[in-house]
């Protein structure tokens, strides 16, 4: 067993004990944003001072049952304001955690009480949503698991938070600055060290014939993970938290854009197993090692069945849907003529001087008026036209959507979708959650330098 799992197990036990022992009027359960020293880099390199939830990277795995609530008091012990976004939860707008839109950022020394219902089972995550380009890169993220009412027939349920860190090898600290123009105008901040659950050498132990549920979460600022299973047979059962109609056998590379999740059921079939990640240099690197020791007493099982559906997964008829279009532009090697930023039309050169490199529908960053005003329940089709030379993982807050394929058929429900250059992409959703919702690129350096807009549902 790795040191990390022991730490995590100890922590979970402590949490459970705290919950049981809590007297009626005790202070609320907290999530403390604070600095901590964590050994992200291999031994021999310095420890990294991170910004963490409760002292670990990733933060604690928050688990609750579908239909229950999450109640956590954010305590800000950092020197900077912060807030928490609960990514993928179809949440009450006031709890969405977007500083400047749904709440004020929590100042140093301040607190904020998050309390919200969990309508959907699935794999979600939480992360800072104040200066997230820097705060998420420094470690402020964690998994949020909403359990189905009935447990699945699996031997284990493992949460794998995939991440990367850009470290200075000389010190082990984060490479600065976080708002480097080169990163913002290109692919974003990608790390020089990748890992799972805060470990570059993450290891699981398993037995042959064991069946595992793996919940993969891409918490990286900008890295798109291309993944392959080795020594295991797998099925995808959910994307971005939402159950698929039927399990889909994994036969190919899995692409996971920043903020996306995939739930897999895997059967350990070989003596050596693992999750492999494709590297730019044309070779597969071991990302999560599964050490297979012995054989489980269980015989191999038939293919898994689908997860029970979440409520409200069907879209209304789209024939009369409101049609919207959004041109995505800017960045290195494509640029744009001009865009509106803080109420002013600026040339691309002027935008760059202000640290803005991208625009959505001609607008860089938030404006006073939303990209779209929608009425509650209104069906919407949104065409994304990617005129940049980069892929962008586009995320809608508050509501999941489906891709509309060229033949009119609908893809699976998700909250983040990868838009690639020059490929038309259309999504559809029902504006069924009232409030102010962000729509932005989850390459967080892009979001910070123009690729953020919002819709209003009322
Ligand atoms: Cu996961 Cu607006 O973010
Ligand atoms: Cu982007």
pLDDT at 11: 27
Structure tokens at 131: 């200066």
Average pLDDT of span 421-433: 96
Phi and psi, residue 199, nearest 5°: -115, 130
**Ligand number, closest to the Cα atom of 125:** 1
Tell me the mean pLDDT in the region 410-435: 97
Answer yes or no: is pLDDT of 135 > 50.
yes
Distance 334 CA to ligand 2 centre (A): 13
* Cα 334 to Cα 337: distance, rounded to the nearest angstrom: 10
Ligand of minimum distance to the alpha carbon of 189: 2
Percent of the chain clearing pLDDT 70 (strictly above): 94
For residue 420, the ligand closest to its alpha carbon is: 2
pLDDT in the model for residue 20: 43
Q: How far apart, in whole angstroms, are the C-alpha atoms of residue 454 and residue 447?
A: 12
The alpha carbon of 43 and the centre of ligand 1 are apart by a number of angstroms equal to 32
Distance in Å, CA 446 to ligand 2 centroid: 5
Closest by CA to 112, choosing from 43, 33, 24, 23, is 33
Name the residue with higher pLDDT: 300 or 161: 161
For residue 37, how far is its CA from the centre of ligand 1 (angstroms)?
25
Separation between Cα atoms, residue 77 and residue 133, nearest integer Å: 19
Shortest-distance ligand to the CA of residue 88: 1
CA 31 / ligand 2 centre spacing (Å)? 29
- Give the pLDDT confidence of 32-88 residue by residue, as tens digits: 999 999 999 999 999 999 999 999 999 999 999 999 999 999 999 999 999 999 999
For ligand 1, which residues put their CB under 6 angstroms from it?
85, 87, 127, 129, 259, 395, 397, 438, 440, 442
Distance between CA 148 and CA 139 in Å, rounded?
Answer: 28
Rounded Cα distance between 244 and 412, Å, is 7
* Minimal-distance CA residue to ligand 1 atom 1: 87
Query: What is the reported pTM?
Result: 0.94
If pLDDT is split at 50, 70 and 90, which confidence band does 2 have?
very low
Q: What is the pLDDT of residues 346-403, one digit of tens each?
A: 999 999 999 999 999 999 999 999 999 999 999 999 999 999 999 999 999 999 999 9
Using 50, 70 and 90 to split pLDDT, how confident is the model at 17?
very low
Residues by chain with Cβ below 5 Å of ion ligand 2: 392, 441, 443, 446
**CA dist 133 to 28, 117, 328, Å?**
29, 27, 19
| Residue located nearest, by CA, to atom 3 of ligand 1 | 87
Q: Give distance in angstroms: CA of 232 to centre of ligand 2.
A: 33
Of the candidates 215, 218, 72, the one whose C-alpha atom is nearest the C-alpha of residue 154 is 215
Euclidean distance between CA atoms 99 and 358, whole angstroms: 21
Atom of ligand 1 nearest to the CA of 98: 2
Q: Which two tokens stand for residue 219?
A: 């918490």
Q: How many CB atoms lie within 10 A of CB 20?
A: 7
Residue 116 CA, distance from chain mean position: 19
pLDDT digits (tens, 9 = 90+) for 247-282: 999 999 999 999 999 999 999 999 999 999 987 677
CB-based contact 79:86 (threshold 8 Å) = no
Q: How confident is the model at residue 244 (pLDDT cuts 50, 70, 90)?
A: very high
From ligand 1's centre to the CA of 385, what distance in Å? 21
Nearest atom in ligand 1 to 127's CA: 1
Contact 336, 330 (CB under 8 A): yes
Query: What pLDDT does residue 297 have?
Result: 83
- Average per-residue pLDDT in the chain? 93
Query: Confidence band (pLDDT; 50, 70, 90) for 24?
Result: low
DSSP of 252-316: S-EEE-TT-EEEEEEEE-SSEEEEEEE-TTS-EEEEEEEEEEEE-SSPP-PPPPPPPPPSS-SPP
Neighbours of 197 (CB within 10 A): 24
How do 338-341 and 272-278 pair as beta strands?
unpaired
């Amino acid at each position: 067993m790795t040191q990390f799992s022991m730490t995590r197990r100890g922590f979970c036990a402590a949490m459970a004990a705290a919950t049981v022992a809590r007297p009626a009027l005790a202070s609320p359960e907290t999530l403390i944003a604070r600095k901590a020293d964590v050994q992200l880099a291999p031994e021999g390199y310095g420890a990294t001072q991170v910004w963490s939830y409760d002292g670990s990277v990733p933060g604690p795995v928050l688990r609750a049952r579908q239909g229950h609530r999450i109640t956590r008091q954010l305590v800000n012990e950092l020197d900077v304001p912060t807030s928490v976004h609960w990514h993928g939860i179809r949440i009450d707008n006031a709890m969405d955690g977007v500083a400047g839109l749904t709440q004020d950022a929590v100042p140093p020394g301040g607190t904020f009480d998050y309390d919200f219902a969990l309508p959907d089972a699935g794999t979600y995550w939480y992360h800072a949503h104040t200066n997230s380009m820097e705060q998420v890169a420094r470690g402020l993220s964690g998994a949020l698991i909403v359990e189905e009412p009935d447990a699945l027939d699996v031997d284990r349920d493992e949460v794998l938070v995939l991440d990367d860190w850009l470290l200075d090898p000389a010190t082990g600290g984060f490479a600065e600055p976080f708002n480097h123009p080169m990163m913002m105008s290109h692919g974003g901040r990608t790390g020089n060290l990748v890992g799972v659950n805060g470990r570059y050498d993450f290891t699981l132990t398993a037995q042959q014939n064991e069946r595992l549920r793996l919940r993969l979460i891409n918490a990286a600022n900008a890295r798109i993970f291309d993944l392959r299973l080795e020594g295991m047979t797998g099925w995808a059962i959910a994307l971005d938290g939402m159950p698929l109609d039927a399990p889909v056998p994994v036969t190919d590379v899995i692409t996971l854009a920043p903020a996306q999740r995939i739930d897999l059921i895997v059967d350990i079939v070989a003596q050596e197993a693992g999750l492999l990640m494709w590297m730019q240099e044309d070779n597969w690197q071991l990302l999560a090692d599964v050490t297979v020791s012995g054989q489980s007493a269980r015989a191999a099982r038939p293919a898994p069945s689908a997860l029970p559906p979440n409520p409200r997964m069907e879209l209304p008829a789209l024939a009369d849907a409101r049609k919207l279009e959004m041109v995505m532009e800017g960045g290195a090697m494509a640029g744009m003529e001009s865009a509106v930023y803080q109420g002013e039309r600026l040339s691309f050169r002027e935008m760059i001087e202000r640290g803005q490199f991208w625009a959505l529908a001609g607008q860089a960053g938030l404006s006073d008026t939303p990209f779209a005003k929608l009425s509650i329940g209104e069906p919407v089709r949104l065409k994304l036209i990617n005129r940049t030379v980069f892929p962008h993982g586009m995320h809608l807050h508050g509501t999941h959507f489906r891709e509309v394929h060229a033949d009119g058929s609908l893809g699976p429900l998700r909250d983040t979708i990868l838009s690639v250059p020059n490929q038309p992409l259309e999504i559809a959703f029902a504006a069924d959650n009232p409030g102010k919702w962000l729509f932005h690129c989850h390459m967080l350096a892009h979001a910070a330098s123009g690729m953020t807009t919002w819709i209003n549902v009322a």
